[in-house]
Structure 1
Amino acid sequence: MQNNLILVPQGSLEGYIQAVNTISVLTAEEERALAERLQQDGDLDAARQLVMSHLRFVVHIARSYAGYGLPQADLIQEGNIGLMKAVKRFDPSVGVRLVSFAVHWIKAEIHEYVLRNWRMVKVATTKAQRKLFFNLRKAKKRLGWFTQQEVEAVAEELGVSAREVTEMEARLSGQDQAFDALDDDEGESFAPVHYLEDKSSDVAASFEHDNWEHHAMHRLSNALEALDERSRHIIQARWLDDNKLTLQELADHYGVSAERVRQLEKNAMNKLKGVLEA
């Protein structure tokens, strides 16, 4: 496996883990020398060696987040991003090992990934909520809700109010739910869409509309009866039938010019208008 590909888990996850575990761990002297090359000369090969030698450490941290139900490979990849950020900022003159410095950056990237993907709706947005989210997950040792005594104990331990603990516990216990009902629910689902007001359905307005249409059609029918047979047929064929005829088609039917049909149509329309307005 090439070194430039090993940063991202590909294929078998177990194969990736086995590969990173074969990479030698640096001694303190080797690590310091590589960090100085990176810091002073911008040596990218030194940065690569520092990253590669700590990939196994990222795997170890990522495994501790397995309980969130997210892909292990994605957790590792996010942790690797944090490791690379740590290598870029590492100062060997401080006197601490890279592994101690990098843990913050690795966990920070994994935390961001978990919060973005654990639920469709974010459960924690502020810094305090994020801290409470991860600490509460650790504090919840059993299934079921906290008792009031447990809530107060956790709140005191984490330095937050009991209300904040209760709210976060409710968020942790909640589940994502589809807005629309599933096709196979057969009316048994309680999807949010069922609780929305259907403003398109107004019984009174619908009845009024239907009544007006019936009244209008009745008046039009009576008005048509006032026309002679030819005029009535021209209006019917030109405006009311599904397959409407052209002026020329009607002219051919009656053996007159298209202009004569247009005049008959105009006269019929004027007569209809007069009857309907009466």
Structure 2
Amino acid sequence: MSTALTLPTLSVGDSIERYVQRVNAFPMLSPEEEHDLAIRHQEHNDLDAARQLVLSHLRVVVSIARGYSGYGLPQADLIQEGNIGLMKAVKRFEASRGVRLYSFAVHWIKAEIHEYILRNWRLVRIATTKAQRKLFFNLRSMKSSFAALTHVQAKEIADDLGVKPEEVLEMETRMTGQDVSLVADDGDDEGYAPIDWLADSHSEPTAVLARNRLDELQSVGIGAALDALDERSRRIIEARWLTDDGESSTLHDLAAEFNVSAERIRQIETKALQKMKQALLPAMV
């Protein structure tokens, strides 16, 4: 439905006041007009009826969106998200239930705005469960000041919302916390960024010892394992696995060099690798 409706939008450079004037110009519907339009849309898929229902309730979206201005997000985006919720409400509205569209649409409008705020208010999601979302959207309005909550105040809010005081204090911490960059800003030569205090896993003692052991196996152990091979087997292994330029020889290349079949080269290679593995096992334990 949203792709077929043409609605007023907040374009770049357009002011909120001008948009409000435009949506307020659309007349409110009487209960009878609203019922008739809803029937036309529901039973006949009349998009013009749906459009009139949406246009007459755009002012409702503006009113609801203004209640979320304290989250620091663009008012225009809040309104646009609310409009999406309104269109979803119109699509699902059933006039036969005896409820006005306004009452039915409020839930859908707020739901879309809530989702937008939770996606964009912080880089880290601060409310994921239903209970956390309820607490997130009620805590700001229930606080009497910008000061941190006392345990008594937290308990009062928790009792009103049916949650634990610890959950109230945790949500307050999440809401008042600021996003911190992991790395320092460009040109900032003073102080340290959080990344400077993170441990380097490559410098961990056991990791260093493991790398040293691996280097020893590669330089000494593999050399000894190669010495245990016959000349042809060693040549095949080196050509296939230990080239300096990273371009290994193919089975057919070596077959032509030794005047045997490619399958015979594969057999020699497999046997040589098994022999090297047995030679390396004692050094790896």
TM-score by structure 2 length? 0.67
Greater than 4 Å deviation, 4+ residue runs: 199-203
Equivalent in the alignment of 1:132: 135
Q: For each residue in 1:158-202, what CA deviation from the matched residue of structure 2 results, as whole angstroms up to 9, or x when unmatched? A: 10001111111110111111111112432224x321111234568
Q: For each residue in 1:56-75, what CA deviation from the matched residue of structure 2 results, as whole angstroms up to 9, or x when unmatched? A: 11001001100000011110
Equivalent in the alignment of 2:180: 177
1:91 to 57, 77, 94: 94
> What is the CA–CA distance in structure 1 between the aligned matches of 2:204 and 2:72, rounded to whole Å?
45
Contact 1:90 1:98 in 2 (8 A): yes
Q: For each residue in 1:48-92, what CA deviation from the matched residue of structure 2 results, as whole angstroms up to 9, or x when unmatched? A: 110011001100100110000001111000000000010011111
Q: Does 1:10 align with 2:11?
A: yes
Structure-to-structure mapping, 1:44-59, within 5 angstroms: 44-59=47-62
Equivalent in the alignment of 1:33: 36
Larger CA deviation: 42-51 vs 136-145: 136-145
Partner secondary structure for residue 132 of structure 1: helix
Contact 1:10 1:16 in 2 (8 A): no
> What is the CA–CA distance in structure 2 between the aligned matches of 1:179 and 1:141, rounded to whole Å?
33
Bigger radius of gyration among the two: 1
> What is the CA–CA distance in structure 1 between the aligned matches of 2:202 and 2:30, rounded to whole Å?
72
Equivalent in the alignment of 2:164: 161
Instruction: Give the partner amino acid of 1:195.
Output: W
Equivalent in the alignment of 2:153: 150
> What is the CA–CA distance in structure 2 between the aligned matches of 1:202 and 1:114, rounded to whole Å?
41
Contact 2:27 2:56 in 1 (8 A): yes
Structure-to-structure mapping, 1:36-115, within 5 angstroms: 36-115=39-118
Contact 1:58 1:80 in 2 (8 A): yes
Q: For each residue in 1:85-125, what CA deviation from the matched residue of structure 2 results, as whole angstroms up to 9, or x when unmatched? A: 10011111111210111000000000000000000000000
Q: Does 1:22 align with 2:15?
A: no
Partner secondary structure for residue 176 of structure 1: coil
Contact 2:7 2:55 in 1 (8 A): no
> What is the CA–CA distance in structure 1 between the aligned matches of 2:11 and 2:162, rounded to whole Å?
42
> What is the CA–CA distance in structure 2 between the aligned matches of 1:135 and 1:73, rounded to whole Å?
22
Q: Does 1:197 align with 2:199?
A: yes
Structure-to-structure mapping, 1:244-255, within 5 angstroms: none
Structure 1 residue 5 displacement after superposition: 4.2
1:186–1:26 CA distance, 2 compared to 1 (3 A): same
Equivalent in the alignment of 1:270: none
Instruction: Give the partner amino acid of 2:75.
Output: Q
Equivalent in the alignment of 2:282: none
Structure 1 residue 10 displacement after superposition: 1.4
Instruction: Give the partner amino acid of 1:98.
Output: L
Equivalent in the alignment of 1:237: none
CA RMSD, 1 decimal: 1.8
- Structure 2, unmatched stretches of 5+, are 213-285
Structure 1 residue 15 displacement after superposition: 1.8
TM-score by structure 1 length? 0.69
Instruction: Give the partner amino acid of 1:101.
Output: F
